[in-house]
A and B are shown apart, each in its own frame.
Chain A
Amino acid sequence: MIGCFFMGQLFGYKNNLSTILISLLSIILYICINYNKSMSLAIQLKNVSKHFGDFVAVNDLSFEVQQGDIYGFLGPNGSGKSTTLRMIMGLIKNTKGEINLFGKSLNLNRSNILREVGCIIEKPDFYNYLTALENLQLFARANQLNFKKTDFEQLLERVGLLGREKDKVKTYSHGMKQRLGLAQVLIHNPSLIILDEPNTGLDPQGIIDLRNLILSLNKEEGKTILFSSHILSEVQEMCTSMIVINKGKTIAQGKVAELLSHEKIHVKLEVIEVDKTIQLINQSNWKELFDKMEENVFVMNMSKDKIPALVSFLTLSGVSIERIDYRNQLEEYFLKITNQ
């Protein structure tokens, strides 16, 4: 803005009126750019803290979630994840800082904002003495939706509970409650979905179904998803960006690919020809990446993208590789930064 003002002077707008006009235009431009930026953000936390007496649960936390992102929210147990998610949903009042959703202050626009948000915080809880359908009818009414029977059926089919809707929720397994929780999240077609450990209690098929559902909600319907999970392979596979917090503080944040691009992982190669492999590695540049050896297993400390080159080097040199194993890159990264 100030730059534009001086540009006016520089380009010879000696007339005061011209200078004022250019300055005004600059101010408008500045406001528009910032407005557009804030509107493109689904979630924005600025220096948010939460104190419970002397205990600081969240300490000066700032992050932004772009609309259309699948954003991973990671941290060990007790790191302040749930407290942060509760503050975003207005369940807990922040002690300091600012929380904006869709460019609007949560404190000032709570009702309008929450119409656009669906969430499962901690675990999905329901009225156990009611059936799944009765629970959904309550949720639909609370969201002022005029749902017909077919609408409920479509929703239940989407989460894989069609046919069980007349059963009381107290008869449901944890996995089924998670599915019903997803139905509750999706019932009002929100543009932002917040999921706290959504795959807890799901069977393998349930985890795959959930992953596909999240990806389809994001890709096909453009929904923004903030998602916390301890299954880090899921986060790595699905999320575009992420934040890692510990003891209420940010310890890493950014694009998942960028954060992990320079990260090395421990790759375990189980080979048949042990002596030949030792010789080959010692005589090549791969020696620098060699970490240790456990019987016929070679542990290499390297980035994931180098695995194909190593495999082709060894196989072309006549080494038979029985097994390649490596820990998920995000798991390695997470353990490294949270244990620091």
Chain B
Amino acid sequence: MKEFIAILKNEIIKTIKRPRSFIGFGIIAFICLMLQSAFYHDGKEILSFVTGQLENVFNVEGKVLNGNLICFIVLQTLIVQMPLLVALVTGDLVSGETANGTIRFLLTRPASRTKIVLAKWIAGLFYTLLLLIVLGFFALFVSHWIFGDGDLMALNSEGLTIISADDIIWRWGYAFLIAFLSLSVVATLANMLSCIMDNSITPIVSVMAIIIVFTIIGMFDLPSFDLIKPFLFTTHMISWKSLFEDPIPFHDIWFSIAVLIIHIVLFISISIFYFNRKDINS
């Protein structure tokens, strides 16, 4: 265990100190601030267009353009980019070392290959968590600081749901946890491809290709696709949004969590199996 903690510490240090790791933080901060700035200047006009139609039916009171709404919009926008940012670092954790030759150092030390893969995987998850913390800070805290608190008007597949500001903090907590689980699948997939491939770029591109293909499958309502859709991890990557429905479909959320966990277990098992048999020729 002591040995594992030592190599995990090494992996976390390497991940944090890599210049590439900061690209993700920078992009998240930039997109959040850009969206916040846009909504700060033009948000009222955009919202008046939406609420104007509602005001014909309902009486809209209070501050609609608030920190919770901005966070909801930012999260929906970034869910497309976040897997790329995660794959950018986690897809390079093993293959980058194979390409650079530093893998030889790692594999000629006493720690087993299984421990090395697990340490790298956990370091990847740690980076994913850091990305989400940065996202949470900018999307939730900075948005609240700029726009203030208020009830959330969330537009879901079921329609418009209004969630009271008093009832929202726990939903954000669980939403970020499910988002972390979703991105962990991406990180684990990237780590798996990184174990199989010997260059840095292919695993990153492959992860994005897989996500794009699965998302396209998820978009079409075809009977042949309907069979596989529930088992694609991309179908469940947006399940965090279900927490902003009323009533919350807990059964669907638990199913999504189970599918995501199964994917993680499958991907990490393949990573360990393959990496233990791999010849290091670089």
Q: Chain A interface (Cβ within 8 Å of chain B)?
A: 52, 86, 89-93, 110-112, 114-115, 117, 119, 121-123, 125-130, 134, 138-139, 141-144, 184
In the bound complex, CA of A90 to CA of B14 (Å):
24
Interface segment, one of B5-13, B60-68, B128-136: B5-13
A86's closest neighbor in chain B, by CB? Answer: B280
A127–B105 alpha-carbon span in the complex (Å): 11
- Residue pair B101, A142 in contact (C-beta under 8 Å): no
On whether the beta carbons of A92 and B18 are closer than 8 Å, the reply is: no
Which stretch (B69-77, B109-117, B158-166, B244-252) binds chain A? B109-117
Interface residues of B in 1-54 (CB under 8 A from A): 2-3, 6-7, 9-10, 13-14, 17-19
- Check A129 against B277 for contact (C-beta < 8 Å): no
Q: Which residue of chain A has its CB nearest to the CB of B20?
A: A129
A144-B6 in contact given A89-B108, A114-B109 (Cβ < 8 Å)? yes
B112 surroundings in chain A (CB, below 8 A): 110-111
Partner of A142, one of B10, B100, B104, B279: B10
Question: Are the C-beta atoms of B101 and A125 separated by less than 8 Å?
Answer: yes
Given A141-B9, A144-B6, the answer on whether A129 and B19 have CB atoms closer than 8 Å is yes
CB distance from B117 to the nearest CB of A (A): 15
B81-128 CB contacts (< 8 Å) to partner A: 100-102, 104-112
For residue A91, which residues in chain B have a CB less than 8 angstroms away from its CB? 104, 107-108, 279-280
Give the docked Cα–Cα distance between A142 and B280 (Å).
Answer: 19
**Per DSSP, are chain B's interface residues mostly helix, strand or loop, or mixed?**
helix
Residue B281 at the A interface, CB < 8 A?
yes
Contact present for A126 and B280 (CB under 8 Å): no
Q: How far is the CA of A220 from the CA of B53 in the complex (A)?
A: 89
| A139/B111 in contact, CB under 8 A | no
Could you tell me if B277 and A143 are in contact, using CB atoms closer than 8 angstroms? Answer: no
| Contact present for A92 and B10 (CB under 8 Å) | no
A184 to B100, CA, bound (A): 17
| Majority secondary structure of chain A interface residues (helix, strand, loop or mixed) | loop
Q: CB distance B14 to A92 under 8 Å?
A: no
Cα A139 to Cα B111 in complex, Å, equals: 12
Give Cα A92–Cα B107 distance, bound, in whole angstroms: 10
Closest to A83 in B: B281
B-side contacts of A111, CB under 8 Å: 110-112
Q: Do B109 and A125 touch across chains, with their CB atoms under 8 A apart?
A: no
Contact (Cβ within 8 A) B281 A92: yes
In the complex, the answer to whether A129 meets B110 with C-beta atoms within 8 Å is: no
User: In the docked arrangement, what's the CA distance between A71 and B107, Å?
Assistant: 23
Cα–Cα distance between A143 and B281 once the two chains are bound (Å) = 23
Bound CA–CA A134/B19 (angstroms): 15
List B226-241 residues whose CB lies under 8 Å from chain A. none
Tell whether A142 pairs with B17 under 8 Å between CB atoms, given A90-B107, A111-B112, A126-B102. no
A-B pairs with the 4 shortest C-beta distances? A125-B101, A91-B280, A111-B110, A92-B279
Q: Are B6 and A142 in contact (CB under 8 A)?
A: yes
Q: Given A90-B107, A92-B280, A141-B9, are A122 and B14 neighbors across the interface (CB < 8 Å)?
A: no
Sample (25) of A-B pairs whose CB atoms are under 8 Å apart? A86-B280, A89-B108, A91-B108, A91-B279, A92-B280, A110-B112, A112-B110, A115-B110, A119-B108, A121-B104, A122-B104, A125-B102, A125-B105, A127-B14, A129-B17, A130-B14, A130-B17, A134-B13, A139-B105, A141-B9, A142-B105, A142-B109, A143-B109, A143-B110, A144-B6
A114 B17 Cβ-Cβ under 8 A: no
Chain B residues positioned under 8 Å from A143 (CB to CB) = 109-110
Pairwise interchain contact A144-B19, C-beta atoms closer than 8 A: no
Q: What residue of chain A has the Cβ atom nearest to residue B3's Cβ?
A: A144
